[in-house]
Amino acid sequence: MGSDITVLGAGIIGLTCAVRLQEHGHAVTVVTADEPGRTVSGLAAAVWYPSHTDADPRVLSWAVRTFDELSAQAAAGVPGVVARPTRMLLRRPHTTPWWAAAVPGFQEEAGEWRFTVPSVEMVTYLRWLRDRFVAAGGRVVRQRVGRLSDLPHGLVVNCGGLGARELADDPAVYPARGQVVGVANPGLVTSVRDEEHPAGMTYIHPRSRDVVLGGTYQPGEWDTTVDPATTAAILARCTELVPELAGAPVLWQAAGLRPARHGGARVELDPSAPAAGVRVVHAYGHGGAGVTLSWGCAEEVLTLCGGAAEG
């Protein structure tokens, strides 16, 4: 393919890495089995929030960098990116969350946290990233890869998501199934979260034309068939929290598999000897926080790949 860096995967992690590497002078080819909008990233509700992510200074740095980048993009009018006011309902006493330092204006009030964070409409945003990458000379190749050594010799950035379980021989990678429902937006602008709802995690994320309602977090579940009973339960929980949703027409339903990993995301140069001339930088295992950590991880991947290209 002739590129000096090959990025495997066209979800949010793969495309942000590809764009950042390209901006710093690298010739980049993205290899993907699916078009960006058909990856699991395309299903994400995608409001900045480090869901199911443990406190860690490295992760916080990724989250801060991504918050800043997405906020700047929202201010610049990038398609699909807006600043979204958010309410997080609390059912018991909580300390200030570890990620609050990333969020200007974070407030704690009786029974809830309030903050404004970037929200991303993923199909629109992934298309914008892909078009930006291609317009600057990047290549996107549709190919299903069975082994990393099947890719061109040189440097590979492995953003294979769940596929990294086999590609990187990493049994720590596992699916965390999520089911969501899209309904017509009755005029909502504020996201609402209730992570400790007794009937299951609950979130309401307005977008320009719909509202994403969720959800589930089911570790180890591989089935992407939509369950009608789960849909009904999600609708009931969300309407309980936001009565304006009552009677909102259901527009779509979906289930997807978050690419989670025991021990957190793996972002590192593979320490093993290069296989068949391929050096690998891994960037996978972000679970449901891919959008939240994406640009920060892309910055670290750039560093791991040697920074700016020479010449």
Give the chain as a DSSP string.
---SEEEE--SHHHHHHHHHHHHTT--EEEEESS-GGGSGGGG---BS--TT----HHHHHHHHHHHHHHHHHHHHT-TTEEEEEEEEE-SS--PPPTTGGGSTT-EEETTEEEEEEEEE-HHHHHHHHHHHHHHTT-EEEE---S-GGGSPSEEEEE--GGGHHHHTT-TTEEEEEEEEEEEE-SS--SEEEETT-TTS-EEEEE-SSEEEEE---EET----PPPHHHHHHHHHHHHHH-GGGTTPPEEEEEEEEEEEETTS-EEEE--SPPBTTEEEEEEE--GGGHHHHHHHHHHHHHHHTTSSPP-
Mean pLDDT, rounded, for 264-277: 82
- Quick one: pLDDT at residue 301? 97
Q: What is the pLDDT of residues 65-116, one digit of tens each?
A: 999 999 999 999 999 999 999 999 999 988 999 999 999 999 998 889 999 9
Q: How confident is the model at residue 35 (pLDDT cuts 50, 70, 90)?
A: confident
Q: What percent of the chain has pLDDT over 90?
A: 84
- Quick one: pLDDT at residue 275? 61
Q: Is the pLDDT of residue 2 over 50?
A: no
- Quick one: pLDDT at residue 1? 38
pTM comes to: 0.94
Mean pLDDT, rounded, for 2-9: 83
Mean pLDDT, rounded, for 8-28: 96
Q: Is the pLDDT of residue 285 over 90?
A: yes
Q: What is the pLDDT of residues 206-252, one digit of tens each?
A: 999 999 999 999 999 999 999 999 999 999 999 999 999 999 999 99
Mean pLDDT, rounded, for 113-138: 96
Mean pLDDT, rounded, for 274-297: 90
Domain residue spans of the chain: 5-304
- Quick one: pLDDT at residue 39? 74
CATH tag, 5-304: 3.30.9.10
- Quick one: pLDDT at residue 3? 55
Q: What is the pLDDT of residues 143-155, one digit of tens each?
A: 988 888 888 778 9
Mean pLDDT, rounded, for 58-70: 97
Q: Which of 3-12, 69-78, 197-206, 283-292 is predicted with the least confidence, judged by mean pLDDT? A: 3-12
